[in-house]
Amino acid sequence: MAHSVQVSEKKMTGRHFLTLLDYSPEEIEQLLHSAKSFKDNPATKTGVLSGKSLGMIFENASTRTRVSFEVGLTQMGGHALFLSPRDLQIGRGEPVMDTAQVLSRYLDAIMIRTNSHELVEEFAKYATVPVINALTDAYHPCQALADLLTIQEQKQQLKGLKLAYFGDGNNVAHSLLVAGAKMGMNVVLATPAEHKADPQVVAKVKEIAAITGATIEETEDATAAAKDADVIYTDVWASMGFEEEQTSREQTLSAYQVNDVLLSGAKEDYIFLHCLPAHRGEEVSAEVIDGHHSFVYDQAENRLHAQQAILAALIG
């Protein structure tokens, strides 16, 4: 890498982390370098964020996000607070402007997991400390950074790789599009017409791809998408907030299940990724997610290291 971790942290201090659209390819590389350094040399993160506090607002359930952020900051000498809307006045109607400004007086950063991306943007507008998007209906940038780290570890590169995503064109798909375009990857989204990615996101991503040399493709043909893929990715068919559509989505998306038949055309050394939780027998077969091509647990672990890099860069 051309830049050291210290340069990366100095350059990004005080910024928000709402979507990777706001970060250059060089800055993303710096975050990946920092994450890998923390992972390979755990002693280097000790005390890096001593005395720092992170407020974690969760409007939705979480396993990986909550644990990785909380443990990650603790390992770096800081402290994370779990904040449920039931415990905050915002849950009783306090304006976002007031909550954001007050929490900024206590905390060094605010992390939010919610449905509305507009709410996170409003928080960032009024907060005077960095705001981190830990998942909205529109984007999941923390997951995408961990995904890039996992791919880089297994393939020793990002640029030029083909990543094929199958299923619902959701927040994870959006962030993969952005991440892939920024890093010069060739991303194919295989989705039915009813569940395509947001056209505005796709348009933005294609503008980025034109600069970085990436390619972005949407198709309804799952078999074509899998052909010669280096990375195979899927997510649940009914994300948080869409559980009532589970039955209808199972019918619409059944042709996009990731299984051995679909992957017969992928590269022999393809890797399989899933942001978890997974529903075996729905979006992915047990044979694939539990097989030797699967790196979903490495991917989940990398949420810890990627988020430590984000925290160090923003508040270090």
Annotated catalytic residue: which of 108, 137, 235, 249? 235
Annotated catalytic residue: which of 16, 33, 117, 143? 143
Q: Does the annotation count 87 as an active-site position? A: no
**296: closest CA among 248, 231, 217, 237?**
231
Annotated catalytic residue: which of 275, 293, 299, 308? 275
Does residue 63 have a known ligand-binding role? yes
Does residue 113 have a known ligand-binding role? yes
Q: Does the annotation count 303 as an active-site position? A: yes
Does residue 303 have a known ligand-binding role? yes
Does residue 298 have a known ligand-binding role? no
| Cα dihedral: 98, 85, 176, 7 (round 10) | 50
Q: Does the annotation count 3 as an active-site position? A: no
Does residue 140 have a known ligand-binding role? yes
Does residue 15 have a known ligand-binding role? no
Annotated catalytic residue: which of 33, 195, 293, 303? 303
Does residue 65 have a known ligand-binding role? yes
Strand 186-190 relative to strand 162-166: parallel, antiparallel, unpaired? Answer: parallel
Read off the tokens for 74.
Answer: 């603790």
Annotated catalytic residue: which of 16, 30, 108, 113? 113
Does residue 277 have a known ligand-binding role? no
Task: List the beta strands (DSSP E) in the chain.
Answer: 53-58, 79-83, 109-113, 131-133, 162-166, 186-190, 215-219, 231-234, 271-274
3-state SS assignment for residue 131: strand
Q: Does the annotation count 140 as an active-site position? A: yes
Task: Give me the DSSP letters along 157-192.
Answer: --TT-EEEEES---HHHHHHHHHHHHTT-EEEEE--
Annotated catalytic residue: which of 140, 174, 293, 305? 140
Does residue 64 have a known ligand-binding role? yes
Cβ-Cβ contacts under 8 Å for 263 (sequence gap 6 or more) = 226, 232, 270, 288, 293
Does residue 257 have a known ligand-binding role? no
3-state SS assignment for residue 77: coil
Give the Å distances, CA to CA, from 45 to 34, 37, 109, 142, 253: 10, 9, 18, 19, 43
Does residue 252 have a known ligand-binding role? no
Does residue 141 have a known ligand-binding role? yes
Does residue 66 have a known ligand-binding role? no
Q: Does the annotation count 147 as an active-site position? A: no
Q: Does the annotation count 198 as an active-site position? A: no
**241: closest CA among 135, 128, 153?**
135
Does residue 53 have a known ligand-binding role? no
Instruction: Summarize the annotated binding site for L-ornithine as residue ranges.
Output: 171, 235, 239-240
Instruction: Summarize the annotated binding site as residue ranges.
Output: 62-65, 89, 113, 140-143, 171, 235, 239-240, 275-276, 303
Instruction: Summarize the annotated binding site for carbamoyl phosphate as residue ranges.
Output: 62-65, 89, 113, 140-143, 275-276, 303
Active site residues: 113, 140, 143, 235, 275, 303
